[in-house]
Structure 1
Amino acid sequence: MSKAFEGKSVVITGGNSGIGLATAKRFASEGAKVFITARREDELKKAALEIGHNAIAIPADISKLSDIKRLFETVKKSTDKIDVLFANAGFMDLVKIGGITEESYDKHFDVNVKGVVFTVQEALPLLKDGSAIILTSSIVSYKGFEGSTLYSATKAAVRSLARTWTSDLKSRRIRVNVVSPGPVTTPMSVGGMTLEGLNQLGKQVPIGRVGTTDEIANVVYFLASDAASFIAGADIQADGGFTQI
């Protein structure tokens, strides 16, 4: 029995850990050739080994246009088309207004906005007509958490990009959608707060807990699949009801 993504190519930024790694495993399990990228080469190689023979690791810093161009030049050597692009890489540093530095501002917007914009733009020549683009935003674009000025602003920008790109790419039938995770245990979320703090936040979630990376990966997989063929420009808040009630 053939697998759903057999013969298809998937590119995932930030694929070395957390949601990116879980999603890469999900697609690889369904037969896809998965290209993962991240800055730290050692972690990236370990992730590729975890995923298995369907994974190709390409080190790249998506805040740098030269690295993004090199990423897709490398992808092109292995495939003539991309069926799914998951622009997932992100950066978060919690700091309150009054303590924001120019360096922090630049890093947030270079990774979370510039990186997403040019990842998608550079992928366009390889993206198959009728393919799927999924962007990672966050529920912080809806809720005002203390200290999240820069991160929240960048994630609101990502949600906006899905709307305009849905219009820009309609002639190619490329669907652009967003997944906005709620509290999820990932290396980035744990780095931004204590595990105890994350679990306390989970108690505010209607279903009573934080989410898992596999649960977010399932949403990304759905948005990329034919089952979501009539969904475009949407933002799916995978948050256990946190922003909904």
Structure 2
Amino acid sequence: MERFNGRKAVVTGGTAGIGLAIARALLEDGAEVLVTGSTEQGLQAARRELGPRARVVRSDTSKLADIAALGALVERELGRIHAAFVNAGFSKLTPFDRVTEEEYDRTFAVNTKGAYFTAQRLAPLVHDGGAFVFTTSVADELGVPSLSAYSGAKAAVRSFVRTFATELLPRGIRVNAVSPGFTATPTLGVTGASKEEVAAFEKEGNELTPMGRIGSPGEVARAALFLAFDATFTTGAELPVDGGLSQL
């Protein structure tokens, strides 16, 4: 029996990496899923990967007009939903003394403003007793060189998880976060990284992670689904999926 039959979910930033793995896992177990992405290449690839059962739509999480349109689309296409995975993200490896205002603003617009207003718009559509799962990062508590803006943006999201969890308690909606470490996505989560930079980052991840390897998108997806559907007595929490990097 497909465990998510009758369940409906939204995954922002779901056309690649961790978001795509979450969407795939939901679909494989029978859920109805609406996935967002911001590039035509990513949208087309996700449609091929996920198949006709997935609704794959363009939406830029940094733009409030797109968030409003997404909410209207979700309401029209799915009605009420059981889980919202707020996963869209943006990061660049830049030493803090070279971060420009443009890069800083983009980092916070996608990771922080986007997450905040996506939750605000989708919350009325989440069933009482449903769940939000945000994607934060091990960077929100570690001093990772060249990720200062991203670390600050994700730390803000970690704080949102606590306050949103408090505000949504009366409706029984649980709000949690999954916190990945080094994860084997095509860019390892770094926008615009070259093949050489990705290879170096992966090597660093294998060396620094206590478990001796980087994680897979599927491992993060399973943790996210646990928080959304199985962790029924957990709210306001951040679950590390980082091979012990933030704990040991």
TM-score with structure 1 length normalisation? Answer: 0.96
**Could you tell me how far 1:196 is from its partner in structure 2?**
3.2
* Aligned pair partner of 2:238 in 211, 214, 235: 235
Aligned to 1:17: 16
Contact conserved, 1:32 with 1:54, CA < 8 A, in 2? no
Distance 1:197 1:63 in 2: 26
**Could you tell me how far 1:187 is from its partner in structure 2?**
2.8
Contact conserved, 1:31 with 1:54, CA < 8 A, in 2? no
- 2:96 aligns to what SS in structure 1? coil
Which residues of structure 2 form unaligned runs of 5+? none
Write out aligned runs for 1:1-245 (5 A).
1=1, 3-189=2-188, 191-192=192-193, 193-225=197-229, 227-245=230-248
**Could you tell me how far 1:80 is from its partner in structure 2?**
1.5
- 1:203 aligns to what SS in structure 2? helix
Distance 1:56 1:214 in 2: 20
**Could you tell me how far 1:198 is from its partner in structure 2?**
1.4
Number of residue pairs aligned between Structure 1 and Structure 2: 243
Contact conserved, 1:68 with 1:118, CA < 8 A, in 2? yes
Q: Which amino acid aligns with 1:40?
A: T
Distance 2:219 2:245 in 1: 15
Contact conserved, 1:9 with 1:81, CA < 8 A, in 2? yes
Distance 2:80 2:52 in 1: 19
**Could you tell me how far 1:209 is from its partner in structure 2?**
0.3
**Could you tell me how far 1:68 is from its partner in structure 2?**
0.8
Distance 1:69 1:99 in 2: 34
Q: Which amino acid aligns with 2:141?
A: Y
Distance 1:59 1:194 in 2: 26
Deviations 1:164-209 (A, max 9, x none): 0111110001000000101111134265433133123212211110
Worse-superposed segment, 228-237 or 94-103: 94-103
- 1:194 aligns to what SS in structure 2? helix
Distance change in 2, residues 1:6/1:108 (3 Å): same
Distance 1:194 1:42 in 2: 20
RMSD of Structure 2 on Structure 1 (CA): 1.2
Distance 2:221 2:90 in 1: 19
Distance 2:45 2:205 in 1: 30
**Could you tell me how far 1:113 is from its partner in structure 2?**
0.2
Worse-superposed segment, 199-208 or 188-197: 188-197
Distance 2:10 2:32 in 1: 9
**Could you tell me how far 1:7 is from its partner in structure 2?**
1.2
Distance 2:167 2:40 in 1: 34
- 1:22 aligns to what SS in structure 2? helix
Worse-superposed segment, 171-180 or 89-98: 89-98
Contact conserved, 1:36 with 1:44, CA < 8 A, in 2? no
- 2:244 aligns to what SS in structure 1? coil
**Could you tell me how far 1:129 is from its partner in structure 2?**
0.6
